[in-house]
């Protein structure tokens, strides 16, 4: 992994189209601005991990789906 040190307000260019700017730092938090082509999806990594976990859980229905739904209709 390439590691660079940057000061507040300084930027990093990735290729021609992507620019990452350090906006502010506060305690252990860093605010980052990203300029990138709209064709790129950008999201927090932990969100992707959470959605991966949720999908795996969703794929694994515990018990018989139809009987769970039937029970619910009777209430």
Partner 1 sequence: MELQTKYHGTIEMEESNYIHFSNGIPGFQEEHQFVVLPLEEDETFYIMQSVNTSTLAFVMVNPFTYYPNYDFNLDESIVESLQIKTPEDVLVYSILTIQDPFENTTVNLQAPIIINSKNHMGKQIILNNEKYLTRHKLMEKR
6 Cβ contact partners less than 8 Å away, ≥ 6 residues apart: 12, 22
CB of 57 to partner 1, least distance (A): 5
Question: Which position among 26, 27, 46, 56 is part of the footprint of partner 1 (CB under 8 A)?
Answer: 56
Q: Concatenated DSSP letters for 4-55?
A: ----TT-EEEETTTEEEEEEEEETTEEEEEEE--TTS----HHHHHHHHHHH
Q: Does residue 74 belong to the site contacting partner 1 (CB under 8 A)?
A: no
Q: Does residue 65 belong to the site contacting partner 1 (CB under 8 A)?
A: yes
Q: 6-35: which residues touch partner 1 (CB under 8 A)?
A: none
Q: Does residue 43 belong to the site contacting partner 1 (CB under 8 A)?
A: yes
The residues of the shown chain that bind partner 1, judged by CB under 8 A, are 38-44, 47-48, 50-59, 61-63, 65-66, 68-69, 71-72
């Amino acid at each position: 992994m390439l590691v660079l040190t940057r000061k507040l307000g300084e930027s990093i260019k990735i290729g021609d189209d992507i620019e990452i700017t350090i906006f502010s730092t506060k305690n252990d938090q860093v605010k980052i601005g990203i300029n990138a082509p709209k064709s790129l999806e950008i999201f927090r990594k932990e969100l992707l991990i959470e959605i991966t976990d949720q999908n795996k859980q969703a794929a694994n229905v515990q018990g018989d789906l139809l009987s769970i739904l039937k029970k619910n209709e009777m209430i």
